[in-house]
Amino acid sequence: MSTNSIASLSFPAGHCVSKAEFSVGLFINGEYSPSANRETIDVYGPATGKVIARVPAGQASDVDRAVDAAQAAYETVWGERCSGRERGRLLMKLADLFDEHADVLASIESMDNGKPFSMARAIDVPEAAACLRYYGGWADKDHGKVIEVDDSKLAFERHEPIGVVGQIIPWNFPLLMFAWKLGPALACGNTIVIKTAESTPLSACYATQLIAKVFPPGVINVVTGYGDPVGTAIASHMRILKVAFTGSTAIGRSIMAAAARSNLKPVTLELGGKSPNIIFDDADLDQAVSWAAFGIYFNAGQACSAGSRIFVQETIYDEFLERLTRTVKALKVAQPFDSDAFVGPATSKLQFDRISAHIQSGKDEGATVHLGGKRHGTEGYFIEPTVFIDVRPEMRIAREEIFGPVVVIQKFSDDDDIVAKANDTIYGLASAVFSRDISHAFNIAKRLHAGSVWINCYNQLNPQVPFGGYKQSGIGRELGQAAIANYTATKSIHVNLTQANPR
């Protein structure tokens, strides 16, 4: 690979963008480079299964280089050297550039990840910009307080940046997760070494050319590569002082262990889920059905918050199933650039195989495939929207995160029954309650062990609202003011205001 390798993507005739050409090297200190051993990763478009670009397969020594750059930038141009006001201005400028380049960013995202272009354009890109803008607003607004200790002394808190932080992101919302990580870390004055997912690096690669127009070199360093060695090098790096990860619970565990073994860096983990979506018999059924379908089939089910366990009160089970069936049959599974596509392909061959194995396990364990259950078409990694019924709680499909367009539907009788069933999981990321009785819904919401509860809606994520998991769905919260705390070191400064002797 040359030092300035170019990705060249061509989009279907008639699409709003015909072509995208951009550098795809490791982005370290504002410059593009190949990996230390010049190895590359083939990047696939999951709608066709064909290679669409190659990016460097970063190595541990590349992470070292990125940390050097981040540290130098922290000491010279960022951190305490750059005012909150200026950091905020730059974050908002990057947000504006994301908006200006929304068509091309969404097109790249759609081709690399497989999600419908219409979704990437309506959700991923504008939400990424909104997140950067939101944290731009925070950059000059996070202050410590003054504590009057006694009549002769006071103490005050300084909210300082941590320094060089490491971030590892997944492939389901590549640009949005990039923004969720960048926003709070930069607002607080940290510099960044971030690893993109090996199957979906391209939108962040494109974004580096926008970053280069706004941020000083070294503030944001993007290392493409595999989990091992790039992710492992970040998690165990002695000069990376905090790590944030989004991905599987298994890898989250190994990141926490690596952090513990190395320099005890604090971790935030945003992990898997098996979120319950609870439909009471007094729900507005049309509303419940459409949100339930959106809750599981949005992003082809590849969302940590996916409403993958639907629980229906037994008195309305038949009617709910009939209406859901109609809705699911109407969902359009199609090529990402088709304007009415709703369900795109699984993001990779690996993910397609994992989802297919889960569907097979459901069949083997005796559940009934009510809808779907098969590959869609012959090209790419499409899977039909799938509904399992006759599901027992101990089945794998009822317990394990599938991360695909597959939902299991179960019945419940009353409040105690549903609270027990909903909470019977190692996860606790999200949940939803559908009922016209808002005080009843609120009482159930209080009893659910989950970081988010949606009442009469699903998958609502806003930059200003904290998001994260109970139990094995994670540690810490992203978004909102909560994420500011993740990237802040609090220093307490004590001041003696008198000539008094020690006491």
Which residues are marked as active site? 270
Under rule CB under 5 A, residue 112 binds Mg ion: yes
> CA-to-CA distance for 90 and 77, rounded, in angstroms?
13
Least distance to ligand NAI from the beta carbon of 429, Å?
A: 8
Q: Give the side-chain half-sphere CA count within 13 A for 480.
A: 10
Tokens of residue 390, six digits: 């006759």
Binds 112, which of ligand NAI, Mg ion, none (CB < 5 to 8 A, cut-off by type)? Mg ion
Which is closer to ligand NAI, CB of 270 or CB of 384? Answer: 270
Least distance to Mg ion from the beta carbon of 42, Å?
A: 9
Least distance to ligand NAI from the beta carbon of 4, Å?
A: 24
> CA-to-CA distance for 166 and 426, rounded, in angstroms?
27
Binds 401, which of ligand NAI, Mg ion, none (CB < 5 to 8 A, cut-off by type)? ligand NAI
Which is closer to Mg ion, CB of 19 or CB of 363? Answer: 19
Least distance to Mg ion from the beta carbon of 46, Å?
A: 6
Which is closer to ligand NAI, CB of 275 or CB of 410? Answer: 275
Binds 313, which of Mg ion, ligand NAI, none (CB < 5 to 8 A, cut-off by type)? none
In the complex, the residues that contact ligand NAI under the rule CB under 6 A are 168-172, 195, 197-198, 226-228, 231-232, 235, 246-248, 251, 254-255, 270-272, 304, 354, 401, 403
Binds 254, which of ligand NAI, Mg ion, none (CB < 5 to 8 A, cut-off by type)? ligand NAI
Task: Look at residues 178, 112, 170, 121 and name the one whose alpha carbon lies nearest to residue 347.
Answer: 112
Chain centroid to Cα 12, Å, comes to: 28
Q: Judged by CB under 5 A, which of 35, 59, 191, 199 binds Mg ion?
A: 199
> CA-to-CA distance for 228 and 208, rounded, in angstroms?
23
Least distance to ligand NAI from the beta carbon of 379, Å?
A: 22
Q: Which stretch binds Mg ion (CB under 5 A): 196-204, 338-346, 413-421, 481-489?
A: 196-204
Looking only at residues 13 through 52 of this chain, which bind Mg ion when binding is defined by CB under 5 A?
44
Which is closer to ligand NAI, CB of 97 or CB of 244? Answer: 244
Beta strand segments in 34-169, E: 40-45, 50-56, 146-150, 153-161, 164-168
Residue 428, amino acid: G
Burial environment of residue 1 by CB neighbours within 10 A (0 to 12, 13 to 18, 19 or more): middle
> CA-to-CA distance for 168 and 166, rounded, in angstroms?
7
Tokens of residue 22, six digits: 């951009």
Least distance to ligand NAI from the beta carbon of 306, Å?
A: 9
Task: Write the interaction track for Mg ion spanning residues 200-219; mark x where CB under 5 A is met and - where it is not.
Answer: x-------------------
Which is closer to ligand NAI, CB of 173 or CB of 206? Answer: 173
Report, in angstroms and rounded to the nearest whole number, the Rg of the chain calculated over CA atoms: 24
Please check whether residue 428 is in contact with residue 471, taking contact to mean a CB–CB distance below 8 angstroms. yes
Please check whether residue 157 is in contact with residue 237, taking contact to mean a CB–CB distance below 8 angstroms. no
> CA-to-CA distance for 283 and 458, rounded, in angstroms?
14
Binds 227, which of ligand NAI, Mg ion, none (CB < 5 to 8 A, cut-off by type)? ligand NAI
Which is closer to ligand NAI, CB of 121 or CB of 181? Answer: 181
Binds 354, which of ligand NAI, Mg ion, none (CB < 5 to 8 A, cut-off by type)? ligand NAI
Q: Render 443-461 in DSSP notation, one character per residue.
A: HHHHH--SS--EES-----
Give the residues lining the site for Mg ion (CB under 5 A).
44, 112, 199-200
